[in-house]
Structure 1
């Protein structure tokens, strides 16, 4: 698990295609590698990658076909900058929100403009993700935990403060850019609970529609 608070920027050093999938080499002068071991997870542009080799100040990771199908990884190029975050510890401050690094889908930047010192961004999400996006809810964009300001159909809006823009790749977003999206995992679990409650009078876990209403998870219409 991750927090969506980027620790460092890295650079894609090498992309090796191997029998339908690929292997990446990512370097960083600012990420602390002192506690990184083989098998550890590092979120790279929002994608959870497993370290299979360490070479000085860079790590190597394998990328499966599944990951290639649901992320922007096939578009990456050598020299590209990427957001990096090591897996959280139980003692880590949860400054963002719980992020799994399992990208749901790719979104498209529809508009970008300055809003005072911040960067205002409008993103179009795929249809299957729209129901998980809520005003003042959380979303992970290229590995960065952000708060949603507004939602209308498939479009949602964000404000990126100067510090976040300076410390991540989000400062380079342009109209038409494609980004990795991960919705809040709590929204997915709540949907599962609601579906179970709607299909059964009383679920095995004791969750029903009346229980959700009683505890404020739903509103009466």
Structure 2
């Protein structure tokens, strides 16, 4: 379980094809590497991956075909930066929202509107994902817990403060950039339970 509060940015050192999977080696700060162990979970652009190798200043992960199909990890190149977050400690503060690290799909940046140091971004997403969003609700974009400003069929917007732009990769993105999207788990449960509740109600009529 994660919170969507990015702790660090890593840099792709090596990306190797391994059949239908990839081996991903990231240069990461000592904040993360000194606390890492083989088998640990780490969110990479919001996608939960397992540490399989630790070296000085680097961590190695593997991503399979399903992960590559649902996320933007297969689009990475050497030198690209990614958002990093370790799992929430049992005694830690939940500063963002409940993030599983299970990416639902990808979206793309539709527009970037600047207002001084602030930026409003609009994202295009599959309509099935936008149905799980509400204004002022939470969404995870490339592992970042964000608050939705507006949502429409197949699009939504967020307002980014200077701090978020500085410490995450969103400040480097351009129109058309592909991002990982994870909707709020609460919205998924509500969406599934309402039809079941209605079916039960109709059966009693």
Instruction: Calculate the TM-score normalised by the size of structure 2.
Output: 0.95
Which residue matches 1:206?
Answer: none
Post-superposition Cα deviations, 1:33-58, rounded to whole Å, max 9, x if no partner, equal 33321111110111111001111221
Pairwise CA distance, 1:67: 0.3
Q: Hey, what's the Cα distance between the residues in 1 that align with 2:19 and 2:121? A: 37
1:194 — aligned with what? 194
Gaps of 5+ in 1: 203-221
Which protein is bigger by CA-based radius of gyration? 1
* Aligned counterpart, 2:79: 79
The aligned counterpart of 1:121 is 121
Spell out the pairing of 1:1-221 with structure 2 (5 A cutoff): 1-29=1-29, 31-201=31-201
TM-score (norm 1): 0.88
Q: Indicate the SS of the match to 1:135.
A: coil
1:135-177 CA deviation, whole Å, 9 max, x = no partner? 0000000000000001122111101100111000000121111
The number of residues matched between the two structures is: 203
Cα distance between partner residues in 2 of 1:150 and 1:121: 10
Instruction: For 1:65 and 1:146, locate their aligned partners in 2 and report how far apart those are by CA, in whole Å.
Output: 27
Residue 201 of structure 1: how far off its partner (Å): 4.2
- How far is the alpha carbon of 1:30 from its aligned partner? 5.0
Offset at residue 185 of structure 1 (A)? 0.7
* Match in the other structure for 1:207: none
Q: Would you say the 8 A contact 1:9–1:31 is kept in 2?
A: no
Work out the CA distance in 2 between the residues paired with 1:64 and 1:99: 21
Deviation, structure 1 residue 99? 0.5
- The Cα of 1:200 is off from its aligned counterpart by 2.3
Q: Which moved more, 1:157-166 or 1:186-195?
A: 186-195
